[in-house]
Amino acid sequence: MALLLMTGNWKPETWREAFGEAAPGRTILIHGTDGYDPADIRYAATWKPPQGVLAALPKLEAIFNLGAGVDALMGDPTLPDVPIVRVVDDNLTKRMGEWVVLQVLIHHRRVLTYLEQQRRHEWIDRRPQPIAEDVRVGFMGYGVLARHAAPILIALGYQVHAWARTPRDTDVTLHVGEDGLGEFLAGTDVLVCLLPLTPDTRRILNARLIGGLATDGPLGGPVLVNAGRGGLQDEDDILRALQSGALAGASLDVFQTEPLPADHPLWDAPNLVITPHNSAISDHRAIARYVAGQIAAYEAGEPLQNVVARDRGY
């Protein structure tokens, strides 16, 4: 009945404490710290576990992923065939909404330009400044995170539409699949990428995609906002697009290599906002409560929620 925690360097004792509060009475073991019999482990709660460790647990019934993306897990060829549960954390969803709305407003209202003028003590009103109603925000990926941010952007006045791999019910215009991508991009001034990282989406944010974005919009060029995964980015292409003006601006919270190395040329790219992968911070206790709640329901005979579809990879 034990729960095994595998969080690497990511605060294992903080996680132990959080799970201790959320699931009192359950045995909580930390891989690499506590000794354990693999046959005693029924559940694993993991973040980027070492390959092969999960495969060595003969009685494992479910894996709970402690972060928002399951790409690290899916890259393990020895991954056992048990349900993988994604975390759906209201707290993380709201923080991501803050970050996305902030980045759209930063580029729309030209914050970097005005801060630069402020450094030079320059009072210049750089009109015309479009109203939000003239700015088209397009979400790539329209899951829980985008569905939270979209209505806030709509309340601010933005035109919002979305692209997803498969059809689904949405309140906004949805473009679907390869066939719908061109039209989606051509009508997008600010692209907000919240895609999962899968073999299909790796390096999808490249020169070809950027070249498909609207160039007739009110911001002087398209803007790219990515808080998905660094692996979605072709960073050479993004750098060149910022330098050439093919992108009027960008906000990146994630990178191929994190921390972004101090000598990386993206640090000095024009009209780029960099945040250190903290757009949406997971709250340990909220996630532990979520996992404990799922386990309790599962043991009462209910199905697990938010289970990853292996074939699509998220």
d(CA 178, CA 160): 20
Tell me the number of residues near a second copy by CB under 8 A: 47
**Rounded to a whole number, what is the distance in angstroms from the first to the last CA of the chain?**
27
Contacting residue, 14, 33, 78, 118, with a second copy by CB under 8 A = 118
What's the full length of the chain, in residues? 314
Q: What single DSSP character describes residue 275?
A: -
Question: Is 229 an active-site residue?
Answer: yes
Contacting residue, 88, 181, 273, 304, with a second copy by CB under 8 A = 273
- 78/278 with CB nearer a second copy: 278
* Cα dihedral 240→246→249→251 (10° resolution): -60
Question: Is 148 an active-site residue?
Answer: no
Contacting residue, 129, 215, 244, 305, with a second copy by CB under 8 A = 129
Q: Which of 26, 147, 240, 277 is catalytic?
A: 277
Indicate whether 125 belongs to the interface with a second copy (CB under 8 A).
Answer: yes
- 55/156 with CB nearer a second copy: 156
What are the respective helix, strand and coil percentages of the chain, to the nearest 5? Answer: 35, 15, 45
Q: Nearest 5°: CA angle at 31, between 17 and 312?
A: 95
Q: Which of 229, 264, 284, 312 is catalytic?
A: 229
Buried b (16+ CB within 10 A) or exposed e, 95-131: bbbebbbebbbbbbebeeeeeeeeeeeeeeeeeeeee
Indicate whether 107 belongs to the interface with a second copy (CB under 8 A).
Answer: no
d(CA 266, CA 224): 14
d(CA 106, CA 109): 5
Contacting residue, 36, 55, 72, 117, with a second copy by CB under 8 A = 117
Contacting residue, 82, 88, 152, 186, with a second copy by CB under 8 A = 152
Indicate whether 175 belongs to the interface with a second copy (CB under 8 A).
Answer: no
Indicate whether 216 belongs to the interface with a second copy (CB under 8 A).
Answer: no
**CB 260 within 8 Å of CB 266:** yes
Q: Hey, which residues between 61 and 80 contact a second copy (CB under 8 A)? A: none
Contacting residue, 78, 215, 278, 305, with a second copy by CB under 8 A = 278
Give bridge partners of residue 193 from the DSSP assignment: 140, 226
Q: Which residues are designated catalytic?
A: 229, 277
**Contacts with a second copy, residue ranges (CB under 8 A):** 91, 94-95, 97-99, 101-102, 105-106, 108-109, 111-112, 114-115, 117-118, 121-125, 127, 129, 131-133, 151-152, 155-157, 258-260, 262-264, 267, 273-278, 281
